[in-house]
Amino acid sequence: MKKLLAILPVLVLLTSSVMADFTRSQVVLHPHFPATGPFIIEITGTWPTDCHPGEQKPVIESFDGRSVEIGFEIIVVHITCNTSDTPYRVLVDMSEVARTDIATGDILELKVSFQDETLERSLELVCPDDAVCETAPADQQRPEPGLYYTPGLANQGLLVARQNVAMAIFPLVYDESGRPQWLFTGNRMVEDSFFTEVLRLRGGDCFGCEPSDTTPEITAIGYLSVLIDRPGVMQVKLNDSLFTVYQSLVFGYNTFQVGPAGEQTLIDLEGRWGISENHGTNPPLGDLSEFFPGAFDIENEAGALTDKAIPRITQVTYLVTTLTGETLGQLVCKGQTGFDGSTNVCDFIDPTDAADPLFLFYQDGPSSLSIEYGRPLIAVGIAPGGKAVRLD
């Protein structure tokens, strides 16, 4: 069968003297139990070095319904090396094989080969009869509706409309002659994933014209696969292209371009915030209410940033206080190069113990921040965490 292409956003080639234990990679399916439907295989881990020949794609080399073999090919050559540990994330789009007539079993044997390393897993496509398979809230990510963009593709974008699990995505692209056009995709989400056919609509009535009997021409031009990382961050792939990160265009806070050349982005969080989601069952810690009130203020510790000071800074420190002015802690936010929804942008520092961040703050959907506990757990249970939304 022909080779099917997916994505390798970050994967590194190792030197012969230092090799990672590829067998310790984490493998997750999206959705968790796809049965005969489309799905995405997510593989994550850490290499001990960051020495790679360039951008790569995982390639589905064989698939017979009960087993799949995946290799890699280099698509852009640019050798880069350093000695830091490097996390990697591989997304393999299996939606194309799901559209074939090949029957699948309840278990899929996965084999991934990279350099001299091999990863093998048995993946359950169907929930076992004797198991209780409940989807965790973290696996039910839903995108915020609105406009999405990706850095480097300023002339393209997505308009996302959603009601519960029913979603439509309208890509704004350009045809061969440079004329803009809207495409249409629509389907139901399954957990945090979305798979659909892409349709081009032409003809019909012009904007503001009198209604007519003209029937638009509908042409199928491919398939779209989407994985929701966070409410404001999506991984989007069209046909055999790479997955590309799209982020919500409008957030509830401003940003500063900092650094000598404005190469980094700092978020401006000054204002009043409130807890919108709260969880945690860890016995010694409890939930977020043990650390934050229902509403709290964030203000710049050094006062308002000036245009003169902005180019020289790479981080900003905020004070987090109660509505009556009692200090809860400091929020240290770092300048970010590019956008990575999996990287925390701020550390919440407990004034009684500044050795390690107590909480990590992430950019989430429009007007919201995601809060995760930043220290190792010392007992069983769910760590305190949740979300905060802008109130002013």
**Eight-class DSSP state of 22:** G
73 or 222: which leads in pLDDT:
222
Query: What amino acid occupies position 305?
Result: L
Q: What is the DSSP annotation of 286-341?
A: B-GGGTS-SEEEEEETT-SPPTTTGGG-SEEEEEEE-TT--EEEEEEEE-BSS--T
Distance CA 318, CA 330 (A): 6
The per-residue pLDDT for 15 is 34
pLDDT at 194 over 90: yes
pLDDT tens digit sequence for 169-178: 998 887 777 7
pLDDT tens digit sequence for 334-392: 877 655 556 778 899 987 777 789 999 987 765 778 899 988 877 777 888 888 988 87
Of all residues in the chain, what percent carry a pLDDT higher than 90? 29
pLDDT tens digit sequence for 244-278: 888 887 555 667 666 666 567 777 888 889 998 88
Helix (H) / strand (E) containing 95: helix 95-98
pLDDT tens digit sequence for 333-342: 887 765 555 6
Query: What amino acid occupies position 304?
Result: A
The mean-pLDDT minimum among 82-91, 109-118, 214-223 falls in 82-91
Q: What is the pTM of this model?
A: 0.65
Place of tokens 């807890």: 275
Q: Looking at residues 205-212, what average pLDDT do you find? A: 84
Q: With cut-offs at 50, 70 and 90, classify the pLDDT of residue 109.
A: very high
81 or 295: which leads in pLDDT:
295
Helix (H) / strand (E) containing 96: helix 95-98
The per-residue pLDDT for 170 is 92
pLDDT at 4 over 50: no
Mean pLDDT, the chain, rounded, equals: 80
Q: With cut-offs at 50, 70 and 90, classify the pLDDT of residue 103.
A: confident
Q: Burial letters for 312-324: b for 16+ Cβ neighbours within 10 Å, e otherwise?
A: eeeebebbbbeee
Cα dihedral sign for 234, 239, 243, 245? negative
The per-residue pLDDT for 91 is 93
pLDDT at 306 over 70: no
Residue 17 near residue 48, CB atoms below 8 Å: no
Can you read off the two tokens belonging to residue 156? 């393209």
Distance CA 72, CA 53 (A): 12
pLDDT tens digit sequence for 32-51: 999 889 999 999 888 776 66
The per-residue pLDDT for 5 is 39
Q: With cut-offs at 50, 70 and 90, classify the pLDDT of residue 3.
A: very low
Q: Looking at residues 181-205, what average pLDDT do you find? A: 90
pLDDT tens digit sequence for 122-144: 999 998 887 777 766 666 788 88
Query: What amino acid occupies position 246?
Result: Y
Q: Looking at residues 54-60, what average pLDDT do you find? A: 81
The mean-pLDDT minimum among 17-31, 35-49, 65-79, 173-187 falls in 17-31
Residue ranges with strand state E in 132-289 = 146-149, 157-163, 166-174, 180-188, 193-202, 217-230, 233-238, 244-248, 254-258, 264-268, 271-279
pLDDT at 288 over 80: yes
The per-residue pLDDT for 6 is 41
Domain boundary assignment for the chain: 4-124, 146-248, 254-390
Residue 370 near residue 255, CB atoms below 8 Å: no
pLDDT at 78 over 80: no
The per-residue pLDDT for 13 is 35
Place of tokens 């404005």: 262
